[in-house]
Amino acid sequence: MSRFLAACRREEVDRPPVWIMRQAGRFLPEYRATRARAGSFLALCRTPELAAEVTLQPVARFGFDAAIIFSDILLPLAPMGVEFAFPDEGGPRVERALAGPDDWAALAPPADGAGTACVAEAIALVRERLPRETALLGFCGAPWTLASYLVEGGTSRDHVAVRAAMLAHPEAFHRLLGVLADAMAAYLRQQVAAGAGAVQVFDSWASALSAPRYAEFVVPALARLLHGLDDLGVPRIVYVSGGHLVPALAGLPCEVVSLDWRADLADAAAALPGKAVQGNLDPAALLAPPAAVRAATRAMLERVPARGYVANLGHGILPATPIESVAAFLDVVRGER
Point out the residues that are catalytic: 22, 26, 35, 72, 149
Please say which residue, 287 or 301, places its beta carbon nearer to a copy of itself.
287
Closest of 144, 163, 110, 271 to residue 220, by C-alpha: 144
**68 neighbors 126 (Cβ within 8 angstroms):** no
CB atoms within 10 A of CB 234: 20
Q: Does 287 bind a copy of itself (CB under 8 A)?
A: yes
**159 neighbors 230 (Cβ within 8 angstroms):** no
232/43 Cα distance (integer angstroms)? 30
217/209 Cα distance (integer angstroms)? 10
Q: How far is the CB of 97 from a copy of itself (least distance, A)?
A: 15
Q: How far is the CB of 168 from a copy of itself (least distance, A)?
A: 4
Options 108, 160, 270, 323; binder of a copy of itself; rule CB under 8 A: 160
Q: Does 264 bind a copy of itself (CB under 8 A)?
A: yes
| Chain CA centroid to CA 45, Å | 15
**270 neighbors 285 (Cβ within 8 angstroms):** no
Q: Report how far apart, in Å, the C-alpha atoms of 136 and of each of 96, 131, 191, 250, 321 are.
A: 34, 10, 10, 25, 23
Please say which residue, 34 or 241, places its beta carbon nearer to a copy of itself.
241
Cα dihedral 121→190→132→32 (10° resolution): 50
**211 neighbors 245 (Cβ within 8 angstroms):** yes
Q: With CB under 8 A as the contact rule, which of the stretches 30-38, 94-102, 164-172, 178-186 interacts with a copy of itself?
A: 164-172
Q: How far is the CB of 5 from a copy of itself (least distance, A)?
A: 28
Range 84-113, binding a copy of itself (CB under 8 A):
none
Q: How far is the CB of 9 from a copy of itself (least distance, A)?
A: 28
Range 198-257, binding a copy of itself (CB under 8 A):
207-213, 242-244
Range 166-205, binding a copy of itself (CB under 8 A):
167-168
Q: How far is the CB of 179 from a copy of itself (least distance, A)?
A: 22
Q: How many residues bind a copy of itself (CB under 8 A)?
A: 31
**Interaction site with a copy of itself (CB under 8 A):** 157, 160-161, 163-164, 167-168, 207-213, 242-244, 261-264, 282-285, 287-289, 292, 296, 318
